[in-house]
Amino acid sequence: MPRVQARIRSVARALVQIEIWPVAALYLAGGFVQGLLPVTLAVAAFFWALRLLAYGRLTVRTPADGPLALMVLMAPVTLWATAYPQETVPQVALLLANIALYYALVNWAADPRRLRLGVAALAAVGLGLALCAPVTVAWHANKAFLVPSSLYSHLPLLLGDGIHPNDMAAALALLFVALAGLLVFAWRQMRLLDRLAMNGVEMAMLVILLLTQSRGALFGVAAALALMVTLRWRRGWLVLLPVAIAGAFGLHTYSLRVLDVITASNILGSLEIRMGLWAEAIHAIQDFPLTGIGMGTFVQVIPALYLFSPGGMRFGHAHNVFLQVAVDLGIPGLVAWLAIVALVVTTTWELVRQGRLSGNRWTHALGVGLLCSQVALLVHGMVDVAAWRTPLGAMIWVLWGLAMAGRNALGA
């Protein structure tokens, strides 16, 4: 009997090593076929049971376990609170699938070799998104800002309704910044072929970012790169200081015009409309502080309760990730989300410090890239929610998973 138990445990230990691949594949397929997300959760639960059998634990522990547990607990709450379960159930499934993907990555990337492989896979995903974007994004030709509108007529849409440009921009902005850390901080340690490949990936993502003309994503990338410059060069702040002064002067002199440029979109034509939308989201949070209105029900509930519908338009979300999380899951959900971000920032800073003290350039570069990606997330999140409610929002959960895996694998 002990030999049989040892054999079963050995098989279970072998099987849990491949958890990331079926979970990630099913998650990806679930972006196209919504009904597959529950299957993703079932497969993840199966691997958790295997891990319990193999190692006596459900998962590797991470600093974010508490906030993530609170988010999981809010899932039945939002299902109870919603008036539109047909809208809430898919969003809850997406949230739980994101958490499953996070833990699958944390459990898989348990050593430095796998962590490096995970970063390489991240670059491959970024390149894949960039190459697919021209024919899968529903481009907005009337949003001319950096690119001539005539260019979009040459980009045929081959994917149903298409991906929203802001959703693609959110994913690429996070990946671009995270991988830029490796180029800026570990350039000399990279082989020539790796440098060329990484530069190619970054250029491809940058081109698509410019095509999306997502002002929020571009400002997020700019803010993240500004922080990266100050961390890379001891006197980097001297380069940024005049830029910051000029920016502050411009914002003071032309504040409304600048904010209009940043926040305007093909749907939200002015800052005034967006501020009205934010005000109604705040009202919803005040009315439903503990439960939220139900995930995915913004477009139904806000017009019904608060009559905010300028020009007859209906809005699918709050155009602010902080407000949207609180509207969806109440203040407890927002506290949990902010706690995860804070813990990831702390963890990535530990990676930066450890890499600097040990002289390990790659660890230092990984920490800086992941740290600065959180800046891009927060800046873009002020005007959009793509990192929260769409399948491409999985990128932030992947980066969070890499950060925590780096802490465990590198001993930060």
pLDDT at 253: 47
Amino acid at 353: R
pLDDT at 303: 85
Answer yes or no: is 137 within a domain: yes
Using DSSP, state whether 104 is helix, strand or coil: helix
Give the distance between the most distant pair of CA atoms in the chain.
79
pLDDT at 302: 87
| Segments in 186-268 forming alpha helices (H) | 192-212, 215-232, 236-253, 255-263
| Residue in the structure block whose two tokens are 């445990």 | 9
Total number of domains constituting the chain: 1
CA distance 126 to 28: 14
Residue ranges, the chain, pLDDT below 50: 250-263, 266-269
Answer yes or no: is 36 within a domain: no
Domain around 143? 64-410
Answer yes or no: is 55 within a domain: no
Both tokens of residue 367?
Answer: 């920490």
Answer yes or no: is 59 within a domain: no
pLDDT at 144: 52
pLDDT at 33: 78
Answer yes or no: is 45 within a domain: no
Q: Count the alpha carbons within 13 Å of 197 in the hemisphere toward its beta carbon.
A: 11
CA distance 69 to 308: 34
Answer yes or no: is 53 within a domain: no
- The end-to-end CA distance of the chain, in Å, is 41
Answer yes or no: is 54 within a domain: no
Residues facing 163 on adjacent strands: 137
Write the pLDDT tens digit of every residue in 148-192.
666 777 777 776 678 889 999 999 999 999 999 999 998 888 888
Positive or negative: CA dihedral 186, 187, 188, 193: positive
What is each CA distance from 335 to 67, 325, 348, 349, in whole angstroms? 8, 9, 20, 21
Answer yes or no: is 319 within a domain: yes
